[in-house]
Structure 1
Amino acid sequence: MLTIRTAHPDELPALTTSPEDDERNAATAAYLAGLLESGCTRPEWCLVAERDGRLIGNVVLWTIPGRTVPMDIVLLEPGDAATGEALLAYAAEQARRLGAQTQGHVLDSPAQAPQFQRDPELREGLLAGAGFTVTRDGCRFLWTASDPMPAQDERLHWRTLAELGEAPFVELLADTFTDTKDSIFQAEIAEHGLRGAARRNVADMLEMNHQPAWYEIGYDAADTPVAISMPARTATSAVIGLVAVARIGRGQGYATSVVARGTRVLVDAGAEEIRGDCDADNIGMSKAFQRAGYRNFANRKMFTRPL
């Protein structure tokens, strides 16, 4: 008989382990330990599937630290198809009970630490069957301390969130959204309008782990605001975060300038590895990462479902 339940304290943080796969077991356990410590998840959000006294699958809910409503599924070990279906159904029920209206999940390829999302066809089939749809087919980029530091753009001077306040960031981001190529931003604009979507994204970035001096607007020689740089930290890595270029600044390489600026800020704060994401169709942003010395280390599909 299959039982879905909250993990016992002695089952954390390892949850489901894979025989003869010590690398995966150690990396995933360390990842979950970090999520628990940072407040991205909670012990009661760590759910396991048990059959005949043996753990055969698990699912873990996630949110931004400080929030009480889970936003996403961060770890999923489906076991087999039937177990995966049961876990996803239970995860939806628990998130709905806590006030969530939607639920997201990401699937990276190739499979790698710390999630080790093997069996991608099984996973995609389970997600589709549980009502998830793809909201972004994206690319992931990586820079490490062994890579050359990207050159800084001397055409721009920068002013921080601490100096400017939030309003200029919202105003400039709304301008950049006019012709955005990002599928997630497009969906948010359709629902909330340009300024509403900009306001929501700035608010989301303010909830990220950051220092006020990290969030900046870049100005050109005429003192015109042309770019936004909002690097931050997640529970597991430094991230370039939000990159935006005003319409008046398009075609001048400022997206690369923002990636370079965010990299410099994060390195000065101690980062040795920095990640960034963008929509696969956003060719300009992909080129900006590559020109700044980042490499496309994985692809990422983002899924969501209504609850």
Structure 2
Amino acid sequence: MEQNDLTMRPITGREELCLFTRLPYVLNEELADDLPAGRRRPEWMWVALRGDHLLARLAWWGHAGDDSPFLLDIFDIDDSSADRVDIGVRLLQTAMAEVVPAGRPPEYIRCVPPDWRESEVTKRVVEDRIAVLERTGAHLFVERLRFEWHPGTPIPEPSGRLVFRPVRDTEEILALMTLVLDGTLDAHSRDDLTRMSAREAAVRHYEDELAHYRSPRDWWRIATLPDGQPVGFVTPARNDYNPIIGYVAVLPEHRGNGYIDEILTKGTRILNTQDVPRIRAATDLGNTPMANAFQRIGYVNFERTINMTWH
């Protein structure tokens, strides 16, 4: 598809990955595995070319087997081009019309350095991409902190205040996920609750994320008081790329007692026994209690994400 001097099109397949990865980004190294696994499709990966010069590119990601993408997680423009924002807008509008022609487009997520505002170069790169997305109708939804824990980091010993047991079944975890939405600080959950019931939001979260974990569900743990009363839960897991703390929460009536540290420690300990190279986790920038808990257990904030959505 040509517009003036630009050619905008999806890549033809794996053979064009060298073209697609001319623009650097942290997710480039995952693309060769994502394509055969079905998490990427050539028709979801678009480029804007002037001659053979790659000026912009984008790619959506989806769960293997899904007919439509779940996230827009790659969007890059050649920062040396004077008309880079305009080119980005043209590519995004053209590709979205083909890939997501109806309904609300998938959320956009961009990984950025934790100190991205402190460097003029990095700040401009991030703000250029935000400007492109805003011109297509998107708005900033939330900024998130990404954490990483490395083996060898000391793990606190159990205090004995809590007892941990496996999750009995899907209904039990869904019931607890529903309860912890009361007073949640998570932006995605709060947004869901404006459009659906807490139970519906819990089911959606489970189906979109927890149901796709590659690891055994018997890694998950319910935290209880010695009398068996549930306090919270944690879902240590493996996603398509990393060992993760997928979900960790304390029930509303038990918040403020320091239980989150013990529950997070339990999940970390379970993954550490699996000889993992690292453990990843994330929380919203505004969720200070959760961010502080990760840091107390030895997790390091190595990255942030900028999340944008369309109305």
TM range, smaller chain: 0.7 to 0.9
Taking the aligned partners of 1:150 and 1:288, their CA distance within structure 2 comes to 12
Question: Which residue of 2 is the match for residue 173 of structure 1?
Answer: 177
Q: Which runs of 5+ in 2 are unaligned?
A: 79-83, 116-121
Residue 10 of structure 2 aligns with an amino acid whose one-letter code is T
Q: Is the 8 Å Cα contact of residues 19 and 54 (structure 2) preserved in structure 1?
A: no
Q: CA deviation at 1:160?
A: 2.4
Q: 2:287 aligns with which of 269, 282, 285?
A: 282
Q: Is the 8 Å Cα contact of residues 14 and 29 (structure 1) preserved in structure 2?
A: no
Q: 1:273 aligns with which of 248, 261, 278?
A: 278
Taking the aligned partners of 1:36 and 1:256, their CA distance within structure 2 comes to 38
Taking the aligned partners of 1:69 and 1:153, their CA distance within structure 2 comes to 46
Aligned Cα RMSD in Å? 2.4
Is 1:208 the counterpart of 2:213? The answer is yes
Provide, for residues 14-44 of structure 1, a one-character-per-residue CA deviation record: whole Å limited to 9, x for no partner.
51415xxxxx47x653221232244321222
Is 1:133 the counterpart of 2:139? The answer is yes
Residue 263 of structure 2 aligns with an amino acid whose one-letter code is V
Change (3 A) 1:118 1:28: farther
Taking the aligned partners of 1:118 and 1:272, their CA distance within structure 2 comes to 33
Corresponding residue SS for 2:161: coil
Length-normalised TM-score, structure 2: 0.86
Q: Is the 8 Å Cα contact of residues 186 and 283 (structure 2) preserved in structure 1?
A: yes
Is 1:187 the counterpart of 2:191? The answer is yes
Q: 2:163 aligns with which of 125, 146, 157?
A: 157
Question: Which residue of 2 is the match for residue 68 of structure 1?
Answer: 67
Q: Is the 8 Å Cα contact of residues 85 and 126 (structure 1) preserved in structure 2?
A: yes
Bigger mean CA deviation after superposition, 253-262 or 124-133: 253-262
Taking the aligned partners of 2:225 and 2:71, their CA distance within structure 1 comes to 39
Change (3 A) 1:257 1:64: farther
Residue 177 of structure 1 aligns with an amino acid whose one-letter code is L
Q: CA deviation at 1:60?
A: 0.7
Change (3 A) 1:166 1:153: farther
Question: Which residue of 1 is the match for residue 92 of structure 2?
Answer: 88
Taking the aligned partners of 1:241 and 1:117, their CA distance within structure 2 comes to 29
Bigger mean CA deviation after superposition, 145-154 or 221-230: 145-154
Taking the aligned partners of 1:118 and 1:145, their CA distance within structure 2 comes to 35
Question: Which residue of 1 is the match for residue 148 of structure 2?
Answer: 142
Length-normalised TM-score, structure 1: 0.87
Instruction: Provide the aligned length of Structure 1 versus Structure 2.
Output: 294
Change (3 A) 1:135 1:143: same
Bigger mean CA deviation after superposition, 31-40 or 2-11: 31-40
Taking the aligned partners of 1:55 and 1:261, their CA distance within structure 2 comes to 47
Residue 100 of structure 2 aligns with an amino acid whose one-letter code is R
Residue 218 of structure 1 aligns with an amino acid whose one-letter code is A
The share of aligned pairs that are identical, in percent, is 28
Q: Is the 8 Å Cα contact of residues 5 and 48 (structure 1) preserved in structure 2?
A: yes
Q: Which runs of 5+ in 1 are unaligned?
A: 19-23
Is 1:108 the counterpart of 2:114? The answer is no
Q: CA deviation at 1:59?
A: 0.6
Question: Which residue of 2 is the match for residue 226 of structure 1?
Answer: 231
Change (3 A) 1:121 1:246: same
Q: Is the 8 Å Cα contact of residues 78 and 87 (structure 1) preserved in structure 2?
A: no
Change (3 A) 1:82 1:195: same
Question: Which residue of 1 is the match for residue 39 of structure 2?
Answer: 40
Change (3 A) 1:13 1:54: closer
Q: CA deviation at 1:192?
A: 0.9
Residue 251 of structure 2 aligns with an amino acid whose one-letter code is A
Residue 97 of structure 2 aligns with an amino acid whose one-letter code is E
Question: Which residue of 1 is the match for residue 118 of structure 2?
Answer: none
Taking the aligned partners of 1:101 and 1:148, their CA distance within structure 2 comes to 44
Residue 224 of structure 2 aligns with an amino acid whose one-letter code is Y
Residue 265 of structure 1 aligns with an amino acid whose one-letter code is I
Residue 155 of structure 2 aligns with an amino acid whose one-letter code is M
Bigger mean CA deviation after superposition, 289-298 or 200-209: 200-209
